[in-house]
């Protein structure tokens, strides 16, 4: 806020726009509409319509008489404000003498006045004629607002004005403030000093406008207004992230000044010690144990998206380990549940049981397999799925039971294997060589056995992507292991055809590595030995 200095009311011919005073429960108080405070004065008035070429018909004597009576009646009913009691009293009173004409016949305002509206506004607070001080606000482009106020009101409500009035002489009747950035809100904030129920004034405002009032109230040291603004912001909904950021930043600015902003900030932060690990674990359990298909599917998508956002936040690495531990705890629970269901489904007497007993078990197997696929997606997105590949590769008992299950009940489990091969092929996870070898030895054949069902029964299954992932995973192993796995695959492919993964590209790479590359390398070494380098530059 610029420096306040003693000033006198400007003398001259410039007219000051008079604003009608409204009678409110708090007394006579008025704040002009935002239109009054427009910083650019352009001619955009709908009254500026071209007049018809033909002159209007002359008024009769009776019409003139009725118009005169109507004007006199409106003039008598309009409450006029007396001039401002200050250093420029006479000039201000002479300017206000013509206010009734301005208020009564706006349609007769000349075109020149509409295109060049006055750049000065005069406003009076409290009961008319009782003000004992003037505050002059000077804004940009020469815009000026003159407030007729009461010293005791300013001193009681504003520490800023109280300090400034103490610095100046006791008989000061006019203060001038330069470079006001938001004159409209400044006037409204001063007007709030005259309100008995500030909440009723603020409740009709928008969040953005209350933030502007809060900023001016902070500059003025208007503690009661600051408190009311904070109470408003604590109760009103914030629409959108942008508005939330504006509120939080504005409120945080007051935090260092000892103002009670905690109720507002509690909406975005909590003082209660609640470890994120416990909260995340609870959310994961709710999603994983849900049986409602639509809600479960949508919440999986939302949680995955939010966890990705967490990954992009700076300094999040400190809590990443806690998050991964929680996810792996859920993985182990799903592994144990899936193994238990497989054991139950492969018991000899299970086949003789009724469908009412078998169907829930089959649905739970599908549910747990879907849970593990979702958790794998989360871990792969967080680049933390290496341990998952190792755990899955070591599930020899589950793989052995897999062959004893009907294909219709087990093929969902092969989706997990396929997803792991795709992740390794894309470089999304980098498990050690032993884990890759064990994964292929344990789960490639079960995947081949279920391949036909995966193509027809799994919507998200992409044959080309899966085949490329399997082939690339095989080619990461030593050449001897590549040969063993691909020869075993060749036998299955020649029998099953399209019902077996097509690994021909990987087979070609292995072939070149085995039969062509050694001879090419040997030929190159021979040429180098026949043509040794005899000189050095």
Burial of 102 (0-12, 13-18, 19+ CB in 10 A): middle
Task: Dig out the tokens for 407 from the structure.
Answer: 């294909």
User: What CA–CA distance (Å, rounded) separates 115 from 112?
Assistant: 5
Is the pTM higher than 0.85? The answer reads no
Per DSSP, the residues of 145-166 read: EEEEE-HHHHHHH-HHHHHHHH
Residues in CB range of 391: below 8 A, 6 or more apart: 331, 332, 335
In this structure, the chain runs to a length of: 537
Strand locations in 290-330, DSSP E?
A: none
Count CA atoms closer than 13 A to 429's CA, side-chain side: 27
The tens digit of pLDDT for each residue in 142-169 reads: 788 888 888 889 889 998 888 888 776 6
Given a cut of 80, whether residue 379 has pLDDT beyond it is yes
Given a cut of 50, whether residue 127 has pLDDT beyond it is yes
User: What CA–CA distance (Å, rounded) separates 235 from 249?
Assistant: 17
Per DSSP, the residues of 328-364 read: HHHHHHHHHHHHHHHHHHTSGGGGGS-HHHHHHHHHH
Given a cut of 90, whether residue 376 has pLDDT beyond it is yes
The tens digit of pLDDT for each residue in 107-119 reads: 344 444 444 454 6
User: What CA–CA distance (Å, rounded) separates 136 from 174?
Assistant: 7
Residues in CB range of 36: below 8 A, 6 or more apart: 17, 19, 121, 184
* Predicted pLDDT of residue 528: 66
Q: Would you say 276 and 319 are in contact if contact means Cβ atoms under 8 Å apart?
A: yes
Residues in CB range of 232: below 8 A, 6 or more apart: 199, 202, 203, 205, 210
Average pLDDT over residues 278-297: 88
CATH of segment(s) 117-193? 3.30.710
Main-chain dihedrals φ then ψ at residue 385, nearest 5 degrees:
-100, 5
Q: Would you say 3 and 163 are in contact if contact means Cβ atoms under 8 Å apart?
A: no
Task: Dig out the tokens for 319 from the structure.
Answer: 């809590």
* Predicted pLDDT of residue 168: 66
Give whichever of 14-23, 259-268, 377-386 has the largest mean pLDDT. Answer: 377-386
| pLDDT bracket for residue 281 (50, 70, 90) | confident
User: What CA–CA distance (Å, rounded) separates 324 from 386?
Assistant: 12
User: Within 10 Å of residue 531's Cβ, how many Cβ atoms?
Assistant: 8
Q: Which residue, 21, 32, 31, 25, is CA-closest to 197?
A: 25
User: Within 10 Å of residue 349's Cβ, how many Cβ atoms?
Assistant: 6
Residues in CB range of 426: below 8 A, 6 or more apart: 469
CA angle 450, 454, 455 (to 5 degrees): 125
> Could you state, in order of their start, the residue ranges of all structural domains in the chain?
117-193, 195-269, 277-516
Residue with the larger pLDDT of the pair 59 and 221: 221
The tens digit of pLDDT for each residue in 477-491 reads: 999 999 999 999 999
- Name beta bridge partners: 175: 6, 135
Chain centroid to CA 25: 41
DSSP 87: T
User: What CA–CA distance (Å, rounded) separates 223 from 217?
Assistant: 7
* Predicted pLDDT of residue 97: 32
The tens digit of pLDDT for each residue in 8-27 reads: 344 443 343 444 343 344 44
Q: Would you say 411 and 338 are in contact if contact means Cβ atoms under 8 Å apart?
A: no
The tens digit of pLDDT for each residue in 328-350 reads: 999 999 999 999 999 999 998 88
User: What CA–CA distance (Å, rounded) separates 534 from 235?
Assistant: 88
The tens digit of pLDDT for each residue in 507-534 reads: 999 999 999 887 776 676 666 665 655 4
């Amino acid at each position: 806020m610029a420096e306040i200095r003693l000033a006198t009311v400007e003398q001259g011919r410039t007219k000051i726009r008079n604003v009608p005073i409204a009678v409110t429960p708090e007394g006579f108080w008025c704040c002009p509409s935002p239109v009054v405070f427009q910083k650019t004065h352009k001619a955009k008035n709908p009254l500026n319509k071209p007049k018809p070429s033909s002159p209007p018909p002359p008024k009769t004597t009776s019409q003139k008489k009725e118009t005169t009576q109507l004007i006199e009646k409106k003039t008598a009913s309009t409450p006029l404000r007396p001039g401002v009691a200050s250093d420029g009293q006479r000039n201000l009173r002479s300017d206000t003498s013509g206010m009734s004409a301005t208020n009564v016949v706006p349609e007769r305002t000349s075109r020149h006045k509409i295109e060049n509206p006055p750049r000065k506004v005069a406003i009076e607070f409290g009961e008319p004629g009782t003000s004992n001080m003037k505050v002059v606000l000077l804004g940009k482009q020469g815009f000026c607002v003159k407030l007729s106020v009461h010293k005791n009101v300013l001193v009681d409500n504003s520490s800023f004005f109280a300090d400034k009035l103490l610095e100046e002489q006791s008989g000061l009747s006019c203060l001038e403030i330069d470079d006001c950035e938001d004159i409209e809100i400044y006037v409204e904030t001063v007007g709030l000093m005259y309100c008995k129920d500030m909440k009723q004034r603020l409740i009709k405002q928008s969040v953005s406008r209350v933030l502007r009032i809060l900023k001016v109230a902070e500059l003025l040291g208007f503690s009661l207004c600051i408190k009311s603004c904070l109470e408003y912001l604590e109760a009103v909904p914030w629409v959108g992230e942008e508005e939330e950021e504006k509120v939080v930043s504005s409120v945080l600015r007051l935090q260092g000044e000892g103002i009670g902003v905690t109720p507002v900030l509690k909406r975005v932060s909590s003082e209660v010690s609640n470890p994120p690990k416990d909260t995340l674990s609870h959310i994961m359990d709710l999603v994983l144990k849900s049986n409602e298909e639509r809600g479960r599917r949508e919440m999986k998508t939302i949680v995955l998206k939010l966890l990705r956002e967490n990954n992009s936040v700076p300094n999040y690495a400190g809590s990443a380990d806690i998050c991964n531990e929680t996810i792996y705890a859920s993985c182990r629970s799903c592994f144990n549940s899936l193994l238990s269901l497989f054991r139950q489904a492969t018991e000899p007497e299970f086949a003789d049981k009724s469908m009412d007993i078998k169907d829930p078990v089959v649905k739970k197997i599908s549910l747990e397999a879907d849970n593990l696929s979702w958790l794998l997606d989360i871990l792969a997105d967080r680049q933390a799925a290496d341990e998952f590949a190792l755990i899955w590769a070591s599930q020899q008992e589950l793989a052995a039971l897999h062959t004893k299950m009907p294909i219709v009940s087990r093929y969902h489990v092969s989706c997990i294997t396929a997803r792991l091969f795709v992740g390794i092929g894309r470089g999304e996870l980098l498990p050690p060589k032993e884990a890759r070898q064990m994964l292929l030895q344990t789960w490639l054949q079960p995947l081949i056995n279920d391949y036909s069902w995966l193509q027809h029964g799994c919507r998200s299954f992409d044959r080309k992507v899966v085949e490329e992932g399997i082939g690339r995973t095989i080619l990461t192993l030593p050449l001897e292991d590549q040969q063993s796995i691909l020869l075993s695959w060749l036998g299955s492919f020649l029998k099953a055809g399209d019902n077996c993964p097509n690994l021909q590209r990987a087979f070609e790479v292995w072939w070149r590595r085995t039969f062509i590359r050694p001879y090419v390398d040997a030929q190159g070494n021979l040429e180098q030995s026949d043509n040794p380098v005899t000189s050095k530059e």
